[in-house]
Structure 1
């Protein structure tokens, strides 16, 4: 008889607990999440903070928190946090206890291992009675974003030829010589025009001397980032890590040029995340927010070719662009691309190439590790 009574009492108690938690478990339960800052660079660490509040008399003996986050944000090892990661998303699950009228704040150190715009749209909290017979779930909308800019590399890591102007921007200001500014004489070099010869200096020294031109300050730089990994590529990019390196090159050159006071713009045959499938063009400017605009654009860039880079340059040729220097960051120098670049040069523009090197497997691993460090 006593055993029967104990069983009946236990069933009644379990039923009451299930009824109570089914009705009130989620009441007074709130959840918020935020990053310590809204933007960062590849390789930077940011802090993600979660705040969970139980503003009622009923304790929560177990609370399960689930959320899905894009890969590219690396979380360190932490107690009560289980992470399962796929190619695109990683699922986070944590289980903990929350006492009555208690608020807990959880801090996560996050490494931005790759560039991109990361959305955190929602998190789901599930709780119930102590024995787990009943469970209630609630999804909290977050609408949280973290913008990760491409890494700015040291200039010595760029594949620059010895004569390149990029590493000397602060001194030389620009690549194109201004025929109206003369700063001295120098010895004749192959390719110098007859009109540049200083005949008086030649007679005085006994060797051909030419006018040494200074560099103009009113030319512009247009960075042309080509997403094609070969001149026969259609739309799908076969070597994304190599293109990611080119994106870092573009960010590094833009930062160096704008810090040197050079008006800088960007052309790219990709498109923006959450935007129309249109190629990117930012006109040269030296405004205070130009670097942020370019870095934001590169962070949101989708590796999906819209048109060939030769087509983009041909449209610039048709606009009769002048007094602009074009830096072509590309995996290849195909015939059509070189032809379009030569047409720009004939219009009075400067052309320089920065070829993105082929990465070996070890270099890809090192690049990924460096971004995450």
Structure 2
């Protein structure tokens, strides 16, 4: 009997010794969001996985997960602690031999911006609960919250009228890339429109007959210089409203901004012409990542737009500060767009817009 008791004690000590050395051996942990891009307040899930890859059970495993400070954990009954910089989510469990445990936690984020799910700390206890071992688990997952949608009926009507005018004028403007034939020179056409090939063939001057442009295109400019954080948030939301209106009406659009972005999204400060939900979604993700930092001055942004614009290209300008047609740095943009310029400003005392026409 004493020998059996001694044998049990020796086995327990051996198991304890093994468990101390291998408390976190072959124990893995991960936490990732179910979606990488969400709406403000939209519910998503945090998927946490704890796995024991060895035959010996883990009698106690504690996880402290770092989450964005403003995350809302919906209906979560466990323990979490928030401060101005981070939210810490605490959980613990027992993991049996080669057991995998997955949990789904409902969460949401209230405001626009880029959030990070970062490192976690896992703690493993020995078999008898005398000692603990710690390990840091490096994690990096992004969650981008898009700008909130805004409802501005008066602005929507004014924007709709401007886009309607642009749509009508596309049948008036000729596309220099689409030649459908030639006709006789009347003396009123510019010299650059003369088709020398047709003139030689017929023996008298002929001019190229051009087709009309077949695509509605608009350039959207977003300026973030000179605005408060509240005004810039309104600018981001107004830009979203404009982009979704363009998509709904079938307009192709390009996008330029002087806003800086957080994260690896590439050269988002200039997005070439595109059409469809995927194109709009890419710009909206950039708006979600945008910070309040300014990459370049407002005047430099306008000059960059002028250099890349075609004659008669319609422009929609969103800015936090009121502007006037008399502003000198706007003159080249007004001239390049041939007066087809729509300005939206977001002020603390309300939103306003103005259509600048020739």
When the two structures are superposed, what TM-score results if normalisation uses the length of structure 1?
0.69
**2:220: which partner in 1?**
223
The offset of 1:17, in angstroms, is 6.3
**1:355: which partner in 2?**
345
The 1-side partners of 2:278 and 2:266 are apart by 24
The 1-side partners of 2:247 and 2:170 are apart by 21
The offset of 1:168, in angstroms, is 8.0
SS at match of 2:119: strand
The offset of 1:241, in angstroms, is 2.9
The offset of 1:297, in angstroms, is 1.7
Matched pairs, number: 306
**2:160: which partner in 1?**
166
The 2-side partners of 1:295 and 1:320 are apart by 22
The offset of 1:24, in angstroms, is 2.0
SS at match of 1:53: strand
The offset of 1:305, in angstroms, is 0.7
The offset of 1:323, in angstroms, is 2.0
The 1-side partners of 2:156 and 2:82 are apart by 45
Query: Pairwise CA RMSD of aligned residues?
Result: 3.7
The offset of 1:251, in angstroms, is 1.3
SS at match of 1:302: strand
Residues 71 and 87, structure 2, Cα contact 8 Å, conserved in 1: no
The 2-side partners of 1:19 and 1:147 are apart by 46
**1:148: which partner in 2?**
145
SS at match of 2:327: helix
Structure 2 residue corresponding to 1:90, chosen from 80, 87, 92 = 87
SS at match of 2:347: coil
Q: What aligned pairs does 1:216-365 form with structure 2 within 5 A after superposition? A: 218-230=215-227, 239-274=228-263, 280-286=269-275, 289-318=278-307, 321-333=310-322, 338-347=327-336, 348-358=338-348
SS at match of 1:27: coil
The offset of 1:111, in angstroms, is 0.8
**1:6: which partner in 2?**
none
Residues 42 and 114, structure 1, Cα contact 8 Å, conserved in 2: yes
Greater shift, 122-131 or 254-263, is seen at: 122-131
Residues 173 and 217, structure 1, Cα contact 8 Å, conserved in 2: no
Residues 173 and 260, structure 1, Cα contact 8 Å, conserved in 2: no
Structure 2 residue corresponding to 1:118, chosen from 115, 120, 123 = 115
Q: 1:342 to 1:72 in 2, by over 3 A?
A: farther
After superposition, the C-alpha distances for 1:39-75 in whole angstroms (9 at most, x for unaligned) are 2222211111112122444333322101222335322
The 1-side partners of 2:341 and 2:105 are apart by 46
The 2-side partners of 1:144 and 1:50 are apart by 13
Higher normalized contact order (CA 8 Å, seq sep 6+, divided by chain length)? 1
Mind listing any 5+ residue stretches in structure 2 that lack a counterpart? 1-8, 174-211, 351-358
Q: 1:38 to 1:291 in 2, by over 3 A?
A: same
Residues 65 and 124, structure 1, Cα contact 8 Å, conserved in 2: yes
SS at match of 1:227: coil
Residues 270 and 304, structure 1, Cα contact 8 Å, conserved in 2: yes
Residues 271 and 277, structure 1, Cα contact 8 Å, conserved in 2: no
The 2-side partners of 1:349 and 1:93 are apart by 59
After superposition, the C-alpha distances for 1:175-216 in whole angstroms (9 at most, x for unaligned) are 6746849xxxxxxxxxxxxxxxxxxxxxxxxxxxxxxxxx98
Q: 1:318 to 1:341 in 2, by over 3 A?
A: same
The offset of 1:25, in angstroms, is 1.5
The 2-side partners of 1:228 and 1:306 are apart by 9
**2:43: which partner in 1?**
45
Residues 173 and 216, structure 1, Cα contact 8 Å, conserved in 2: no
The 2-side partners of 1:94 and 1:338 are apart by 59
The 1-side partners of 2:321 and 2:101 are apart by 54
The offset of 1:77, in angstroms, is 4.5
SS at match of 2:281: helix
SS at match of 2:293: coil
The 1-side partners of 2:265 and 2:279 are apart by 21
